[in-house]
Amino acid sequence: MVIRFINCKQWGIKEASLQKCAKKAEKFIPKKKGELNVVFIDDPYIRELNKKYRNCDSPTDVLSFSYADFDDLKGSGLIGEIYISVPTAVKQSKEFKHSITDELKKLFVHGLLHIFGYNHDNDSDYKKMNEMEEKIIS
């Protein structure tokens, strides 16, 4: 799987730390051929996506779109897309008292796990997903 990080330079994000995290994540997720795009955006754009696809008219930190079940995209090689709001990540890094790099890695891994079927709809699923996030990030 090829993971493309988009808009890193625009936001001053060091792609190397995310690539290192992606390499570690590959040990824990199923092997897939294709591309995954990780796009860094602002709050108005993620708010628009959140409203369109989740009926939530507010910004959020991360949105994931898995294309595994879309027949019209199967030949494209695109596995999915993860959108991360940098301004929201900055706010959360201050709130949780860790670096913006750590917050971006957490959001990337969270989105990646959603792409590969993890969810947090109930306490049991939340615990499994959280444990997997910790394994990858630590």
Question: For 47-93, what is each residue's pLDDT tens digit?
Answer: 999 999 999 999 999 999 998 766 555 556 889 999 999 999 999 99
Question: For 2-53, what is each residue's pLDDT tens digit?
Answer: 999 999 999 999 999 999 999 999 999 888 888 999 999 999 999 999 999 9
CA angle 131–136–138, rounded 5-degree value:
90
All structural domains of the chain, each given as residue ranges with its CATH number in brackets, are 2-137 (3.40.390.30)
Strands 35-41 and 62-66: unpaired
pTM: 0.92
As given in the structure block, the two tokens for residue 59 are: 């910004």
